[in-house]
Amino acid sequence: MTLPGNLMTTAMAVMPHTDVDQALKTALSLDIPFWPQLPNYSYYEDMYVQAAEHFPGILLDIENKTLRFSMDKFIEEFEETMSHFEEPDYFDVSPRYSAVYHKFLDIDLTDRPAIRGQLEGPVSFGFNILDQDDRPILFDDTIRPFMFEIMAKRINVQLKRLKEKNTNAFMFIDEPGMQFIFSAMSGYGEQKAKKDLDLFFSTIDSPKGIHLCGNPDWDFLLGLDMDILSLDVYSNAEIFASCAKSIKKFLDKGGVLVWGIVPTGIETFEKENLDLLAFKLKGIWKALDKKGVGIDQIINHSMISPATCCLVNQDKEKTVEKAFLLTKRLSQTLRENYGLI
């Protein structure tokens, strides 16, 4: 399949809502809907917790909202996990870990141009989950390859479920920690990451891609075997636009970019408006056009989204919902500007 482009709208999954139905309504308001992740509704709905389901060795404390790893517990539970290793449904997100996901699957989504799911990626998961020695499990040469394999199974079974609802379903692998690979202090270098990620992506069904809000090595990221990249271009416009050759190569192979341009934090959102955001985005595209990445190609292979998720606003979901509305208006304006409607 070819992923939709033409400046359609989607968004990242983490949302501040505590009302499941309202969160779903907001997600469904965009062209490419998704199932929201609602950590303020339940700690089970946290993206790291959802990725940890059935992962041997996990110490989950719902009451205190902590998630850790124990090697002793891993050894105890490993055999049980392996007994289910050839059962794909075992690795899907269960109703306990997401009421939202299963409500989403109950909706008729056949008329949408596409739908989307997501799972926390292995790099971010591995950086975030600490073992009994307060060491990220990503650094453990025994746990790391197993973790990549488990995450691939979880992504593939979710994509299969979503494709039953809409044949144009695709997956985001959420990797907020990806930028730390390129820090001298990471302990997990670029060369090792490239080898692991190449193998990881080779085991994942398409269409798949990465979503992140940070600032990694964009040339590295655009060179991975993925179909779609979602980024916060509002904060990273200049450095991303400097990677024109890699962007061109990614688009030439059919890749799609999701331009996260509408801020969701209260202060930044109030500073912006439709015209300013359209001007900023067009400016990036014009700069790329001068470097050989044609605007028509960009538009055909692009979606529009909010810049980031946001859980810290004092007004809870209000500004985020305003950002979703502005994303829709921006898409409409740009589509009119470029003759798509």
pLDDT of residue 179: 80
| C-alpha count within 13 angstroms, C-beta hemisphere, residue 314 | 2
Residue 329 CA to residue 335 CA, distance in Å, equals: 10
Q: 3-state DSSP call for residue 82? A: helix
Q: 115 with 166: CB under 8 angstroms?
A: yes
What is the SS3 assignment for 20? helix
Q: What pLDDT, on a 0 to 100 scale, did the predictor assign at position 191? A: 81
**pLDDT band at residue 188, thresholds of 50, 70 and 90?**
confident
**Binning pLDDT at 50, 70 and 90, where does residue 178 land?**
confident
CA distance 307 to 330: 13
- Please write the tens of the pLDDT for every residue from 241-279: 999 999 999 999 999 999 999 999 999 999 999 999 999
| CATH fold label, 8-337 | TIM Barrel (3.20.20)
- What pLDDT was estimated at residue 80? 95
pLDDT digits (tens, 9 = 90+) for 145-158: 999 999 999 999 99
Please tell me the distance from the alpha carbon of residue 56 to that of residue 131, in angstroms, as a whole number: 12
Does 134 have pLDDT greater than 70?
A: yes
Write the single-letter amino acid at 96.
R
Where do the domains of the chain lie? 8-337
Partners of residue 66 on adjacent β-strands: 61
The model's pTM: 0.95
Neighbours of 189 (CB within 10 A): 12
Phi, psi of 250, deg, nearest 5: -65, -45
- Is the pLDDT at 185 greater than 60? The verdict is no
Decide if 94 contacts 144 (C-beta within 8 A).
no
Question: Which residue, 141, 137, 171, 144, is CA-closest to 156?
Answer: 171
First vs last Cα of the chain: how many Å apart? Answer: 23
Interval 59-118: pLDDT, tens: 999 999 999 999 999 999 999 999 999 999 999 999 999 999 999 999 999 999 999 999
